[in-house]
Amino acid sequence: MKYQKLFEQYNLSGNQLENRFLMAPMTRSRASQPGDIPNALMAEYYAQRSTAGLIITEAVQVSLQGKGYAKTPGIYSENQIENWKLITDAVHENGSKIFLQLWHVGRVSSSKVNGLQPIAPSALTAQNTSVYIFDGAPNGDATFIPVEEPREMNQSDIDTVIKEFVKGAENAIEAGFDGVEIHAANGYLIDQFLRSNSNKREDEYGGTKENRIRLLIEISSAVANAVGKEKTGIRLSPFISFKDMNDPEILQTIMLAATALNKLDVAYIHLCEADWDDAPQIPIDFRIKLRDAFKNTIIATGNKTPDEGEKLLQENLVDLIGFGRKFLTNPDYPARVRQNLSLNEISDNHTLFGGGEARGYTDYSFLR
Protein backbone atom coordinates (compact mmCIF):
# COMPACT_ATOMS: atom_id res chain seq x y z
CA MET A 1 0.00 0.00 0.00
CA LYS A 2 1.32 3.46 -0.93
CA TYR A 3 0.29 5.08 2.37
CA GLN A 4 0.99 2.29 4.82
CA LYS A 5 1.37 4.49 7.90
CA LEU A 6 -1.64 6.71 7.20
CA PHE A 7 -3.90 3.68 7.11
CA GLU A 8 -2.43 2.00 10.17
CA GLN A 9 -4.49 1.78 13.33
CA TYR A 10 -3.20 3.83 16.24
CA ASN A 11 -3.72 3.77 19.98
CA LEU A 12 -4.18 7.29 21.31
CA SER A 13 -3.92 6.94 25.10
CA GLY A 14 -6.40 4.08 25.11
CA ASN A 15 -8.51 5.27 22.18
CA GLN A 16 -8.12 2.78 19.33
CA LEU A 17 -8.18 4.74 16.04
CA GLU A 18 -8.96 3.00 12.76
CA ASN A 19 -6.42 5.09 10.83
CA ARG A 20 -4.07 8.04 11.34
CA PHE A 21 -6.21 10.54 9.45
CA LEU A 22 -7.42 13.28 11.78
CA MET A 23 -10.21 15.66 10.84
CA ALA A 24 -8.91 19.05 11.96
CA PRO A 25 -11.07 21.60 13.81
CA MET A 26 -12.80 24.06 11.48
CA THR A 27 -15.19 26.83 12.51
CA ARG A 28 -18.37 26.52 10.42
CA SER A 29 -20.94 28.62 12.36
CA ARG A 30 -24.03 26.43 12.13
CA ALA A 31 -25.07 26.40 15.81
CA SER A 32 -28.77 27.02 16.44
CA GLN A 33 -29.88 30.34 17.92
CA PRO A 34 -30.49 31.58 20.49
CA GLY A 35 -28.07 29.85 22.82
CA ASP A 36 -25.32 28.60 20.44
CA ILE A 37 -26.81 25.09 20.48
CA PRO A 38 -25.40 22.12 18.51
CA ASN A 39 -28.01 20.54 16.27
CA ALA A 40 -28.98 17.65 13.99
CA LEU A 41 -27.39 19.29 10.95
CA MET A 42 -24.05 19.37 12.77
CA ALA A 43 -24.52 15.73 13.73
CA GLU A 44 -25.00 14.83 10.08
CA TYR A 45 -21.87 16.80 9.13
CA TYR A 46 -19.64 15.06 11.67
CA ALA A 47 -21.16 11.64 11.02
CA GLN A 48 -20.39 12.00 7.32
CA ARG A 49 -16.74 12.65 8.15
CA SER A 50 -16.28 9.90 10.69
CA THR A 51 -14.16 8.12 8.09
CA ALA A 52 -11.31 9.87 9.97
CA GLY A 53 -9.75 7.86 12.77
CA LEU A 54 -10.16 10.89 15.03
CA ILE A 55 -12.26 14.04 14.72
CA ILE A 56 -11.46 17.25 16.58
CA THR A 57 -14.56 19.43 16.66
CA GLU A 58 -14.72 23.03 15.64
CA ALA A 59 -13.63 25.37 18.44
CA VAL A 60 -16.28 25.47 21.19
CA GLN A 61 -16.46 28.39 23.62
CA VAL A 62 -16.29 27.57 27.32
CA SER A 63 -18.38 30.64 28.22
CA LEU A 64 -20.22 33.54 26.65
CA GLN A 65 -17.20 35.72 27.49
CA GLY A 66 -15.03 33.29 25.52
CA LYS A 67 -17.08 33.67 22.33
CA GLY A 68 -15.61 35.61 19.43
CA TYR A 69 -17.61 34.69 16.33
CA ALA A 70 -21.33 34.42 15.66
CA LYS A 71 -23.15 31.07 15.60
CA THR A 72 -20.27 29.10 17.12
CA PRO A 73 -21.37 26.41 19.60
CA GLY A 74 -20.83 26.42 23.35
CA ILE A 75 -20.27 23.78 26.03
CA TYR A 76 -21.47 25.60 29.17
CA SER A 77 -25.26 25.14 29.23
CA GLU A 78 -27.40 22.05 29.81
CA ASN A 79 -29.05 22.50 26.42
CA GLN A 80 -25.67 22.57 24.72
CA ILE A 81 -24.51 19.43 26.55
CA GLU A 82 -27.65 17.49 25.63
CA ASN A 83 -27.43 18.44 21.97
CA TRP A 84 -23.73 17.60 21.67
CA LYS A 85 -24.86 14.01 22.40
CA LEU A 86 -26.40 13.98 18.91
CA ILE A 87 -22.92 14.47 17.49
CA THR A 88 -21.00 12.04 19.71
CA ASP A 89 -23.60 9.30 19.23
CA ALA A 90 -23.52 9.71 15.44
CA VAL A 91 -19.72 9.61 15.25
CA HIS A 92 -19.41 6.62 17.57
CA GLU A 93 -22.04 4.69 15.61
CA ASN A 94 -19.76 5.05 12.58
CA GLY A 95 -16.72 3.72 14.45
CA SER A 96 -14.71 6.91 14.89
CA LYS A 97 -13.50 8.84 17.96
CA ILE A 98 -14.15 12.51 18.68
CA PHE A 99 -12.54 15.13 20.94
CA LEU A 100 -14.10 18.52 21.67
CA GLN A 101 -11.89 21.60 21.29
CA LEU A 102 -12.21 23.97 24.27
CA TRP A 103 -11.95 27.63 23.26
CA HIS A 104 -11.67 31.07 24.78
CA VAL A 105 -10.88 33.81 22.26
CA GLY A 106 -9.64 36.41 24.75
CA ARG A 107 -9.08 39.72 22.96
CA VAL A 108 -10.24 38.38 19.58
CA SER A 109 -13.82 39.46 20.09
CA SER A 110 -16.29 42.34 20.04
CA SER A 111 -19.25 43.38 22.14
CA LYS A 112 -21.27 43.13 18.90
CA VAL A 113 -20.76 39.35 19.07
CA ASN A 114 -21.46 38.58 22.74
CA GLY A 115 -22.41 41.87 24.40
CA LEU A 116 -19.23 41.89 26.50
CA GLN A 117 -15.93 43.74 26.42
CA PRO A 118 -13.15 41.31 25.52
CA ILE A 119 -10.62 40.27 28.16
CA ALA A 120 -6.92 39.55 27.66
CA PRO A 121 -3.60 39.29 29.51
CA SER A 122 -2.99 42.96 28.70
CA ALA A 123 -5.15 45.82 27.44
CA LEU A 124 -3.72 45.62 23.92
CA THR A 125 -5.99 45.56 20.88
CA ALA A 126 -5.07 42.99 18.22
CA GLN A 127 -4.20 44.98 15.12
CA ASN A 128 -5.60 44.03 11.69
CA THR A 129 -7.85 41.42 13.29
CA SER A 130 -11.55 40.86 12.67
CA VAL A 131 -14.41 38.71 13.90
CA TYR A 132 -17.78 38.23 12.25
CA ILE A 133 -21.47 38.66 12.87
CA PHE A 134 -24.53 37.94 10.75
CA ASP A 135 -26.46 41.11 10.04
CA GLY A 136 -28.57 40.31 6.99
CA ALA A 137 -25.85 40.54 4.35
CA PRO A 138 -26.59 38.98 0.92
CA ASN A 139 -26.48 35.16 0.71
CA GLY A 140 -26.49 35.03 4.51
CA ASP A 141 -22.82 36.01 4.46
CA ALA A 142 -20.86 36.81 7.58
CA THR A 143 -19.97 40.49 8.05
CA PHE A 144 -16.44 41.00 9.36
CA ILE A 145 -15.92 43.68 12.01
CA PRO A 146 -12.77 44.81 13.87
CA VAL A 147 -12.06 43.49 17.34
CA GLU A 148 -12.39 45.84 20.30
CA GLU A 149 -9.93 46.91 22.97
CA PRO A 150 -9.79 44.29 25.73
CA ARG A 151 -9.78 44.73 29.47
CA GLU A 152 -6.68 43.42 31.27
CA MET A 153 -7.57 40.34 33.30
CA ASN A 154 -7.22 40.38 37.07
CA GLN A 155 -6.61 37.31 39.23
CA SER A 156 -10.33 36.72 39.63
CA ASP A 157 -10.73 36.66 35.83
CA ILE A 158 -7.88 34.15 35.52
CA ASP A 159 -9.37 31.91 38.22
CA THR A 160 -12.74 32.07 36.45
CA VAL A 161 -11.25 31.11 33.08
CA ILE A 162 -9.48 28.08 34.58
CA LYS A 163 -12.76 26.94 36.14
CA GLU A 164 -14.56 27.47 32.80
CA PHE A 165 -12.09 25.23 30.97
CA VAL A 166 -12.48 22.55 33.63
CA LYS A 167 -16.26 22.73 33.56
CA GLY A 168 -16.22 22.69 29.77
CA ALA A 169 -14.10 19.55 29.84
CA GLU A 170 -16.40 17.87 32.35
CA ASN A 171 -19.42 18.85 30.25
CA ALA A 172 -17.77 17.43 27.13
CA ILE A 173 -17.21 14.06 28.79
CA GLU A 174 -20.82 14.11 30.00
CA ALA A 175 -21.85 14.73 26.38
CA GLY A 176 -20.01 11.58 25.28
CA PHE A 177 -16.76 12.94 23.90
CA ASP A 178 -13.68 10.72 24.05
CA GLY A 179 -11.56 13.64 25.22
CA VAL A 180 -10.92 17.36 24.90
CA GLU A 181 -8.38 19.56 23.17
CA ILE A 182 -7.35 22.80 24.89
CA HIS A 183 -7.03 25.50 22.24
CA ALA A 184 -3.78 27.32 23.02
CA ALA A 185 -3.08 28.38 19.43
CA ASN A 186 -3.92 30.87 16.68
CA GLY A 187 -3.86 34.07 18.70
CA TYR A 188 -6.64 33.19 21.16
CA LEU A 189 -6.56 33.66 24.93
CA ILE A 190 -3.98 31.10 26.03
CA ASP A 191 -1.74 31.93 23.07
CA GLN A 192 -2.03 35.60 24.05
CA PHE A 193 -0.55 34.72 27.44
CA LEU A 194 2.27 32.74 25.80
CA ARG A 195 3.56 35.61 23.64
CA SER A 196 5.69 38.53 24.79
CA ASN A 197 4.10 40.99 22.37
CA SER A 198 0.53 40.40 23.65
CA ASN A 199 1.41 39.70 27.30
CA LYS A 200 2.93 42.73 29.06
CA ARG A 201 1.97 41.65 32.56
CA GLU A 202 4.35 42.14 35.47
CA ASP A 203 2.83 39.53 37.80
CA GLU A 204 3.36 35.76 37.92
CA TYR A 205 1.60 35.37 34.53
CA GLY A 206 3.93 37.66 32.60
CA GLY A 207 7.50 38.77 32.05
CA THR A 208 9.52 35.55 31.82
CA LYS A 209 8.79 32.59 29.58
CA GLU A 210 8.18 30.50 32.68
CA ASN A 211 5.50 32.95 33.77
CA ARG A 212 3.92 33.23 30.33
CA ILE A 213 3.30 29.47 30.13
CA ARG A 214 1.73 29.45 33.60
CA LEU A 215 -1.89 29.80 32.48
CA LEU A 216 -1.51 27.05 29.87
CA ILE A 217 -0.02 24.67 32.42
CA GLU A 218 -2.56 25.54 35.13
CA ILE A 219 -5.47 24.96 32.74
CA SER A 220 -3.95 21.76 31.35
CA SER A 221 -3.25 20.40 34.82
CA ALA A 222 -6.73 21.26 36.10
CA VAL A 223 -8.44 19.72 33.05
CA ALA A 224 -6.28 16.58 33.23
CA ASN A 225 -7.09 16.19 36.93
CA ALA A 226 -10.80 16.62 36.21
CA VAL A 227 -11.29 14.29 33.22
CA GLY A 228 -8.04 12.33 32.95
CA LYS A 229 -4.68 13.10 31.38
CA GLU A 230 -5.38 10.46 28.72
CA LYS A 231 -8.39 12.54 27.63
CA THR A 232 -6.53 15.86 27.48
CA GLY A 233 -4.78 17.24 24.41
CA ILE A 234 -3.26 20.67 23.69
CA ARG A 235 -3.17 22.64 20.46
CA LEU A 236 -0.21 24.99 19.82
CA SER A 237 0.83 27.14 16.86
CA PRO A 238 4.51 28.11 17.19
CA PHE A 239 4.95 29.25 13.59
CA ILE A 240 1.69 31.20 13.13
CA SER A 241 1.73 34.92 13.88
CA PHE A 242 -1.50 36.31 12.39
CA LYS A 243 -3.92 38.18 14.70
CA ASP A 244 -0.98 40.43 15.65
CA MET A 245 0.96 37.65 17.39
CA ASN A 246 4.53 38.00 16.11
CA ASP A 247 6.77 37.09 19.06
CA PRO A 248 10.53 36.50 18.62
CA GLU A 249 10.60 34.30 21.73
CA ILE A 250 7.72 31.99 20.86
CA LEU A 251 9.76 28.93 19.78
CA GLN A 252 11.68 28.80 23.06
CA THR A 253 8.43 29.40 24.95
CA ILE A 254 6.65 26.57 23.14
CA MET A 255 9.52 24.17 23.83
CA LEU A 256 9.41 25.12 27.52
CA ALA A 257 5.66 24.47 27.48
CA ALA A 258 6.16 21.11 25.75
CA THR A 259 8.55 20.00 28.49
CA ALA A 260 6.03 21.00 31.17
CA LEU A 261 3.18 19.27 29.31
CA ASN A 262 5.31 16.14 29.08
CA LYS A 263 5.56 16.13 32.87
CA LEU A 264 1.77 16.34 33.04
CA ASP A 265 1.65 13.29 30.72
CA VAL A 266 -1.21 14.71 28.64
CA ALA A 267 -2.37 12.67 25.65
CA TYR A 268 -1.03 14.81 22.83
CA ILE A 269 0.30 18.04 21.42
CA HIS A 270 -1.44 19.16 18.23
CA LEU A 271 0.67 21.48 16.06
CA CYS A 272 -1.45 23.89 14.07
CA GLU A 273 0.82 24.69 11.13
CA ALA A 274 0.40 27.46 8.59
CA ASP A 275 -1.76 26.33 5.66
CA TRP A 276 -1.36 28.99 2.98
CA ASP A 277 0.66 28.37 -0.19
CA ASP A 278 3.85 30.29 0.69
CA ALA A 279 3.65 29.61 4.44
CA PRO A 280 6.81 29.00 6.45
CA GLN A 281 7.74 25.34 6.75
CA ILE A 282 8.37 23.90 10.19
CA PRO A 283 12.08 23.04 10.36
CA ILE A 284 12.97 19.40 10.89
CA ASP A 285 15.18 20.33 13.83
CA PHE A 286 12.15 21.81 15.63
CA ARG A 287 10.22 18.58 15.08
CA ILE A 288 13.14 16.55 16.41
CA LYS A 289 13.46 18.77 19.50
CA LEU A 290 9.72 18.52 20.12
CA ARG A 291 9.83 14.74 19.84
CA ASP A 292 12.67 14.69 22.37
CA ALA A 293 10.78 17.00 24.75
CA PHE A 294 7.34 15.40 24.50
CA LYS A 295 6.97 11.62 24.62
CA ASN A 296 3.27 11.11 23.89
CA THR A 297 1.33 11.63 20.66
CA ILE A 298 2.23 14.50 18.32
CA ILE A 299 -0.23 15.66 15.65
CA ALA A 300 0.60 17.85 12.64
CA THR A 301 -2.10 19.78 10.78
CA GLY A 302 -1.61 22.35 8.02
CA ASN A 303 -2.49 21.71 4.35
CA LYS A 304 -0.48 18.50 4.22
CA THR A 305 -0.62 16.21 1.21
CA PRO A 306 -0.90 12.48 1.88
CA ASP A 307 2.70 12.14 0.67
CA GLU A 308 3.90 14.76 3.17
CA GLY A 309 1.88 13.17 5.95
CA GLU A 310 3.16 9.69 5.21
CA LYS A 311 6.76 10.93 5.19
CA LEU A 312 6.38 12.57 8.62
CA LEU A 313 4.82 9.39 9.98
CA GLN A 314 7.51 7.16 8.48
CA GLU A 315 10.22 9.37 10.00
CA ASN A 316 8.47 9.10 13.40
CA LEU A 317 8.32 12.88 13.74
CA VAL A 318 4.54 12.84 14.27
CA ASP A 319 1.89 10.20 14.98
CA LEU A 320 -1.31 11.57 13.40
CA ILE A 321 -1.89 13.86 10.42
CA GLY A 322 -4.68 16.43 10.46
CA PHE A 323 -6.57 17.39 7.31
CA GLY A 324 -9.01 20.29 7.32
CA ARG A 325 -10.45 21.57 4.05
CA LYS A 326 -9.95 18.18 2.39
CA PHE A 327 -12.38 16.67 4.91
CA LEU A 328 -14.64 19.71 4.56
CA THR A 329 -15.24 18.95 0.87
CA ASN A 330 -14.63 15.18 0.90
CA PRO A 331 -16.43 13.35 3.70
CA ASP A 332 -14.84 10.11 2.47
CA TYR A 333 -11.36 11.57 2.10
CA PRO A 334 -9.42 8.48 3.28
CA ALA A 335 -11.16 6.30 0.67
CA ARG A 336 -10.32 8.80 -2.06
CA VAL A 337 -6.69 8.81 -0.96
CA ARG A 338 -6.54 5.01 -0.86
CA GLN A 339 -7.93 4.78 -4.42
CA ASN A 340 -6.06 7.85 -5.75
CA LEU A 341 -9.30 9.46 -6.88
CA SER A 342 -10.19 13.09 -7.60
CA LEU A 343 -11.30 15.41 -4.81
CA ASN A 344 -14.24 17.76 -4.46
CA GLU A 345 -13.31 21.44 -4.21
CA ILE A 346 -15.02 24.14 -2.14
CA SER A 347 -18.25 24.83 -3.98
CA ASP A 348 -18.90 28.34 -2.67
CA ASN A 349 -16.79 30.39 -0.25
CA HIS A 350 -19.98 32.07 0.99
CA THR A 351 -20.90 28.82 2.74
CA LEU A 352 -17.74 28.39 4.81
CA PHE A 353 -19.10 30.39 7.76
CA GLY A 354 -22.86 30.01 8.03
CA GLY A 355 -24.27 30.89 4.65
CA GLY A 356 -26.85 28.49 3.32
CA GLU A 357 -26.81 26.19 6.37
CA ALA A 358 -26.81 22.73 4.69
CA ARG A 359 -25.51 24.10 1.40
CA GLY A 360 -21.75 23.81 1.29
CA TYR A 361 -21.85 21.88 4.56
CA THR A 362 -23.52 18.48 4.29
CA ASP A 363 -24.14 18.35 0.52
CA TYR A 364 -20.65 17.43 -0.70
CA SER A 365 -20.74 14.21 -2.70
CA PHE A 366 -19.45 10.79 -1.66
CA LEU A 367 -17.85 8.25 -3.94
CA ARG A 368 -20.43 6.17 -5.77
**Mean pLDDT across the chain:** 96
Is 188 part of the annotated catalytic residue set? yes
What digits encode the pLDDT tens for the residues 245-304? 999 999 999 999 999 999 999 999 999 997 666 566 788 999 999 999 999 999 999 989
What digits encode the pLDDT tens for the residues 195-228? 999 999 999 999 999 999 999 999 999 999 999 9
Per-residue pLDDT, averaged over 230-241, amounts to 96
pLDDT at residue 320 is higher than 80: yes
CB 212 within 8 A of CB 115: no
Q: Of these residues, 76, 188, 333, 361, which one is catalytic? A: 188
Residue of 140, 164, 166 lying closest to 67 (CA atoms)? 164
* DSSP per residue, 206-275: SSSHHHHTHHHHHHHHHHHHHH-GGGEEEEE-TT--TTT---TTHHHHHHHHHHHHHHHT-SEEEEE---
The whole-angstrom separation of Cα 70 and Cα 73 is 9
CB 65 within 8 A of CB 116: yes
Encoded amino acid at 321, one letter = I
Q: Residue 278: its pLDDT value, please?
A: 59
Domains annotated for the chain, with CATH where assigned, are: 10-351 (3.20.20.70)
Beta-bridged to residue 74, according to DSSP, are 61
